[in-house]
Structure 1
Amino acid sequence: MGTSGTFGGSKSGLVPSWVDDPPSTPAAAPQGAPPPGGDGGVGDEGAGTDTQTPPAAYPPLRPPPAGSGLGAARGNLTRGARTSDGRAVRRGAGQYVSASGGGRGAARRMPSSRAAAGGIAGLARNFATQGPAEALRPFNLEGLAGAPAVDVFVALTDALCPPGGTIDEAIARDAMLETIAALAAEGVGNFDEMTPADLQEFFIGVVTRSIEGKILNEVGTNSIRVSPDLAAVERAQRMLHDFVDGCVRDRFAASGSSLADVSSRQIDDFVSDLYGAAFDLMQTLGEAS
């Protein structure tokens, strides 16, 4: 699969090497909507007592400090869109996290995206340990094991994020569809020919795009589109995507785990921790920009 490969998470602490990389052109993606409240039943097939725990409970959100509201984030994203200033885009993303109550607070605001990502993590784990058909069985999709991967992922999106629902559910669905579009553009084969690393890449893509979609929905939709220059808009969106993607990959690499190593009991906590840690890194790097 064209997207395979080891993840490029930074090993240099809080300043990954990708921070000042030049932006590239974003891939177009379909629009969509929503997920159910669970993780799609991603427990081990026939695992007996190996049942999943509920999603990690977060403490009550604290109000953000004075002067750190969404207005500051919106202002920096607007500046980034008008001037193609990557530092302004990073500052805006970091200020969004601060205004959301930090990494855990921001992650807590994305229950549907975390549930969808948990479903994909369980699929990847079962694929590595039990094979393609068994990985799809919890979603009643085992008959698609030898089908094109794009078809399987679209069916998985409908299972995890059926159309129609809340904005949060729509963000999760869009993240999956956008990632599928990116994989299709690079030419992906049949599902049963994929590797665990390919599915791990799909998981990373969905987590990244769901965070990016959340920020754009809450503070960036109008800010990013203020420029009359379409190329500038695309550059700003790509800068935001690259920043979020780098943070997610860095924190995933720092976990020291592959999805095949995460038990069904640990999936919810692993996913929640990844979202929170990625948001925390975005805040730290954004404040340093």
Structure 2
Amino acid sequence: MGTSGTFGGSKNGLVPSWVDEPASPPAVAPDSAEPDSADGDGIGGPDQNGETPLAQPGATPAQSYPPIPRIPASSRLGGARGNMTRGARTSDERALRRGAGRYVRASGGGRSTASRMPNSRAMAGGVAGLARSFANQGPAEALRRFNLEGMAGAPAEDVFVALTDMLCPAGGTIDEAIARDAMLETVADLAASGVGNFDELSADNLREFFIGVVSRSIEGKILNEVGTNAIAAPSDVAGVERAQAMLHDFIEGCVRDEFDARETDLSDLDAAVVDSFVDDLYGAALDLVKALGDDG
């Protein structure tokens, strides 16, 4: 599995804010409802006007159903967290991979996990569309759809930071923060590689940038939901950076393998299929994370 790209990883990668999402309350089936005519005045139900419903001959009393059992997130993701913590503390790459794979499995598989990343998929779709237009229409036209055509000759990192603000402004939901962090971390990778102005980018540069955004967003999703206090477990900074680098290389390798299997450089994609291409790539890459994690 390939893990190296045209530009290397950030030397000072941004660490995402890992926030556990609160568990949802257990679902309760609704009580059996009597027709409105069972109400004393025939208008509304007893909870609307304070009346006691009239007993109907032979009617079965309404019953409350017990809550539907729900596995707490802490239990559902316990195996993933345990492996992630062990991998971080001991620099065990197999445990880190297993933790990522078990997270995807516990989340219902690749497509189910990807469906909960709408902002990340939208961000990656914007980058894919930009790469397609760049190759077929030129840098200025590629940026025109984002009202950034005047930045065609600007430094590439400045253009992508502006694009980030257009596609995903600061503030908002956790998923929006994950998408934004993924884009900015990939911009940092691009800047570290020494790429010059935007209009000088090659098809390889744009492909690597797209793969970086997809990889970083998946990595951020896993760290946000599983990695709280796990990757931060080592007492030394070097240990934290080593664990993050191992996890990133694994996920990027999965994304790259699935991208390469589709035999495209983004320029040949029809505009109408860009979103479905991105959705399919996310789902397949996450399924590969699950499969290879299980083998670890």
**TM-score with structure 2 length normalisation?**
0.77
Q: Does 1:94 align with 2:101?
A: yes
Q: Does 1:29 align with 2:13?
A: yes
Is 1:113–1:207's contact at 8 Å kept on the other side of the alignment?
Answer: yes
Structure-1 separation of matches of 2:192 and 2:219: 20
| Greater C-alpha Rg | 2
Aligned match for 1:217, one of 206, 211, 224 = 224
Q: Does 1:234 align with 2:241?
A: yes
Larger relative contact order (CA 8 Å, sep ≥ 6):
1
Counterparts of residues 1-289 of structure 1 (less than 5 Å)? 16=1, 27-30=11-14, 69-289=76-296
Is 2:16–2:220's contact at 8 Å kept on the other side of the alignment?
Answer: no
Structure-2 separation of matches of 1:284 and 1:72: 15
The Cα of 1:182 is off from its aligned counterpart by: 1.1
Residues paired across the two proteins, number: 239
- Secondary structure at 2:240's aligned position in 1? helix
Structure-2 separation of matches of 1:201 and 1:155: 19
Identity of paired residues, percent? 67
- Secondary structure at 1:223's aligned position in 2? coil
Structure-2 separation of matches of 1:29 and 1:287: 27
**TM-score with structure 1 length normalisation?**
0.79
Structure-2 separation of matches of 1:189 and 1:131: 16
Match of 2:51 in 1: none
- Secondary structure at 2:271's aligned position in 1? coil
The Cα of 1:31 is off from its aligned counterpart by: 7.1
- Runs of 4+ more than 4 Å apart: 30-33
The Cα of 1:258 is off from its aligned counterpart by: 1.9
Structure-2 separation of matches of 1:68 and 1:17: 34
Structure-1 separation of matches of 2:16 and 2:195: 22
Structure-2 separation of matches of 1:257 and 1:112: 23
Structure-2 separation of matches of 1:109 and 1:25: 26
Q: What stretches of structure 2 of length at least 5 have no aligned partner?
A: 18-69
Structure-1 separation of matches of 2:253 and 2:152: 31
